[in-house]
Structure 1
């Protein structure tokens, strides 16, 4: 199996200066002039700003309890973190309001500045695909296809004609993911072999590609499509698949090799598909966001990024290796919380801290982890400080 590895050159002085300014801007965001007037977001728990929490008959009340949301909002919001997510930092930097979750929409909200359709636990493939294989999604019945359905339902309130939608969405940013991670997480954590899960990858990429084309057909002109994170570095995998064989772990990070190989394959196939779509839609900006390599920086060198407690142990969780216990998860009785989440990469074993998401957002807005770079030339960085 061949994998594609992207080589990144160091920042030059100009990019480094912009990088420093952007970090300051994200630390204290203020409205700025920007080409983008709205954001529409799709995905799973890495992007969900409250849809899972609001779903009917949802028994996963862990998101409604402290310490979720403790850092920025000071109360739970339905985000799977201690604070803001990548999509929140992007919105704030662009001078836009934080995206309301679709399931909380009401007449007092301005839909035209953006909506978040992402749902925690969501998959790219429809649930029928997994049910036929005996795989259960304990979190949600909503897939990427369902989120596109919500988007279509909302269209009449956003624009009144095909031409009107194209005019409106010309200055909108569409964030498609991260999505696809749960298509692998759910089966792997339920005992499905890695060989079988690898066979899902082409179907997952096909579903993502179909969603991209649907949005383009409705007028989307700029789409950011993230790849998947290195799940072999996530606490839940390190705890569930502990190995006595040192060869199963990456040197320098302590991450498990085989889950990361799966993700590299997914990201490779996704990038090849995005290349195909760029040729098919030459007037549309289709941007790959390299979450994998952006995150691997602080899994390799956590101290360099201020993560003094390391990258692998969870900040919030139960007793056990890496401060993770599947039966005593974050916010459950018996779980404990670290003193300072900003010193950790990992939040609850499956998601990252606000500090880690800030780094990811910075790498997307400035680079070099977007292909091609996101055009933020119309944003005044100095007004943001």
Structure 2
């Protein structure tokens, strides 16, 4: 049976100094900086070339939250939106939106379709470009707060990354890529296990399993070679497939079919394009579905995933969940 494709992602969170426990009622001055692909993009792609014609700007995207498209590929909030809420932070505007940004609460640089490698998807904001944007923010904060205070501010921030799936989808062969690691002291790292890249393609799934093993090996080496480096893993693969295979157990009615799309399982990537009922179908209640379109989860599923990241058990977050992770710092 054909199933929907599930993107491969990596989630990384850095905290470079010891911080007090994060609660849902007080922020303690901790900012959130987000890097990634379509799972985290709040609408940055809208401002790459000034075009607002992408599918994420069409109804029914955004229908469950602001009742209008926001630029995100879901019916509502994304995982980092909920993490921000857990930290008592406001949901930010896209970094590229031409407004005055204060960066007091952080910034979101994510871009739908982006990869780690620049050649993965030309026309999107690859990881290295996103990092260059962060360097600009760093300079802005240095000018605003001074060198000492800006370093302290960024040292207490959380860095969230979802990236990698598009590199595997878009490249039949990926060569060795160097990964730069900040030299700030006390790096704290959380990684997300690769999900099954394409349920009906064994070779792609094997790449995901291989990546998971290699990732764990690299993290282990980093912990032994970098002073202050610690990490924890989020098992995205089993978390999402537990819900796909047992939807009713988690409050869903449908685990395999998307809410919006066309064809079998509504797996056609044409949600919001054309006329509803003619060019694509739309479910009546996205909260009953795990998938909003063929590759992106609903707001309800995103809340569950974010909650697992925040306070999940060791079966999905090990050796710590995020709340425990930061309470130990």
Q: TM-score, normalised by structure 2?
A: 0.81
Structure 1 residues 59 and 65, CA gap change in structure 2 (3 angstroms): closer
Secondary structure of 2:198 counterpart: helix
1:271 pairs with one of 216, 227, 234? 216
Q: CA deviation at 1:175?
A: 0.6
Cα distance in 2 for residues equivalent to 1:268 and 1:379 = 25
Q: CA deviation at 1:221?
A: 3.8
Q: CA deviation at 1:349?
A: 0.5
Q: CA deviation at 1:163?
A: 4.6
In the other structure, the counterpart of 2:195 is 229
Q: Does 1:322 align with 2:307?
A: no
Runs in 1 of length 4+ with deviation above 6 angstroms? none
Gaps of 5+ in 2: 1-22
In the other structure, the counterpart of 1:16 is none
In the other structure, the counterpart of 1:183 is 167
Secondary structure of 2:133 counterpart: helix
CA contact (8 A) 1:173 1:222 kept: no
Cα distance in 2 for residues equivalent to 1:352 and 1:260 = 19
Structure 1 residues 257 and 45, CA gap change in structure 2 (3 angstroms): same
The C-alpha deviation readout for 1:77-96, integer Å capped at 9, x for no partner, is 11111111110111101111
Structure 1 residues 69 and 220, CA gap change in structure 2 (3 angstroms): farther
Secondary structure of 2:159 counterpart: strand
When you count strand as a share of all residues, which structure comes out higher?
2
Q: CA deviation at 1:154?
A: 1.2
CA contact (8 A) 1:35 1:379 kept: no
In the other structure, the counterpart of 2:20 is none
Aligned Cα root-mean-square deviation (Å): 2.6
Matches within 5 A, 1:1-385: 32-35=25-28, 37-56=30-49, 58=51, 61-104=54-97, 106-107=99-100, 109-127=101-119, 130=120, 137=121, 140-160=123-143, 163-177=148-162, 179-187=163-171, 197=172, 199-200=173-174, 203=176, 206-207=177-178, 209-210=179-180, 213=181, 216-217=182-183, 221-233=187-199, 257-309=202-254, 311-318=255-262, 320-326=263-269, 329-333=270-274, 334-367=279-312, 368=314, 369-376=316-323
How many residues are treated as equivalent by the alignment?
A: 297
Secondary structure of 1:102 counterpart: coil
Q: CA deviation at 1:76?
A: 0.7
When you count helix as a share of all residues, which structure comes out higher?
1
Secondary structure of 1:282 counterpart: coil
Cα distance in 2 for residues equivalent to 1:153 and 1:283 = 26
